[in-house]
A and B are shown apart, each in its own frame.
Chain A
Amino acid sequence: MMLVWLIGIPLLGGVLAWAAARVHPRASQVLSIAALGIDLCLALWLRGSHVQALTQSGAWIAQVQWPWIPRMGISVHLAMDGLSLLLVVLTLFLGIMSVAVSSSDVRDRPGFFHLNVLWSISAMIAVFMALDLFLFYVAWELMLVPMYFIIALWGSENRIRAAVKFFVFTQASSLFLLIAILGLYFVHGNATGNYSFDYAALLHTALSHRAGVWLMLGFFLAFAVKLGVFPFHGWLPDAYGEAPLAGSILLAGVMAKTGAYGLIRFCLPLFPQASNSFSLAAMILGAAAIVYGALMALGQTDLKRLIAYTSVSHMGFVLLGIYVWGQLSLQGVVLQMISHGITAGALFMIAAGLEKRIGTRDITRYGGLWHVTPRLGGITLVFALALMGLPGLGTFVGEVLILLDTFRLSIPLAVIPIAGTVFAVVYSLWMVQRIFMGESAPRPHIADCRGRELLSLGIMAALIVWLGVYPKPFLDTSAPAVTELRQSAPEARPVITSPRELLARGLP
């Protein structure tokens, strides 16, 4: 029941915030934050009250199932384990942050804006908890619509183009997901006579190799596009770059993670054999994305596009870690997702703050800002270091776990991403230096960050340090879920014994 409330409170809060905007625009913002805050407390309470369940492997923290369209085997089946919980908490945290910091750039229709933000958050939470494939698909699609409006109505200059690109890309890939879901439904129904969309029922469907590969590819495509996997990241720089601040934070911080979550929860467990034969290609894509994203980030002059490409690079780590399918790598993926959500969110906040101060996102027109905005500079430095995976910050933990497991699997595969971390140094340092160092152009007085901006960035910086220094609570929360997922699909773990075999297997 608690899970329904988790989804319902933002839905309800969105409607209330919409209505409240008629009274005062500020009221709408306060109401949104309150709704998300209550939701966050609820999620944390769930974590606190179910510590016992977390320690027992495989126990869901909470579950609820009602029939919806019983004739077709569709039910409202929501469930939460450690993995979902962490992602839900991340969603709500970033949601609060994005609402809190984006009051100034939403002068137009604030009520509708908050409605869209809260509804997209609600849909994302539903995605993280749905265990019925039909319900999952509905939530997956619903997530898109408010986000389209957020980009198209409150974005910057090229917002319509970016919004259309985003919508077409994700919508087209979702159709493959729908086809694959229906395919799986009918294959399973024909074989067993039990037509059902339920995750548990579909989990061990016997599939011919060919059918498995095709269905798996359908799932993979939809998730890869959301994740922004190279080379399916075509929509990503535009959407991240043109969206308003709240949109960028939610897109990079949370929506990308729905893709990773889909891969972990559905794609690999449902099609372990097919995934196994595909894993080499996926891992190579991930490794390529790490280097390619870093190279692209190096060439960008638009600050938000630069951050978008660093996301491509980091999501490469996530993809790599998922397909390595080991305890270490999956734990690393979880931590990488959380750290990246916080890092990318904070960097987008910084980019928005700089744009407000200087009036442009063109990085070549910044420079020498340190002596006027030392606090902003220091905080930016922390997150730039997080981008490059400096030990002591959250991203290091994620990256090192993923890389170590990759290294155990195959040394040649690990060499590319390890080299990629060197590129990360270049783009992150270059970013900080081009903004804050060097000679400063004469410009009117600009203020250092203070008040709400300082508070939210400070909280995020503290979190990223916490994740880096003492990640144990997070890892312990996700450990049972990860163990359970791996046990449900042990075949998905690829086996590569030697470099020669790696070459001989080639691309499937």
Chain B
Amino acid sequence: MATVPLSHALLLSAALFAIGLAGVITRRNMILVLLSAEIMLNAAGLAFVAAGSRWLAPDGQIMFLFILTTAAVEVSIGLALVLRQNHLAKSLDIDAAGSMKG
């Protein structure tokens, strides 16, 4: 079985992360911002798994499980917040939440 070199996996993960970050920064729709954040998390997970298989250590996969859990929690709280905000501001524009600043 031909192995994928670590650098390829890391490049893919970096690209995914960059796409996610760009999405978080540029998107105004909250759902899409959340989605982009998920992409970033998955990018980090991919990097962990790749690194784990490179050094033949289980730690990477364990960390990925952690990230999965975190992502699930994050999404559930995030979606709840989105619903709440939608109810308050009658829109999903994330900049409309700027009125909450102290």
Physical contact A–B (CB less than 8 Å): no
Report which A residues bind B (CB closer than 8 A): none
Report which B residues bind A (CB closer than 8 A): none
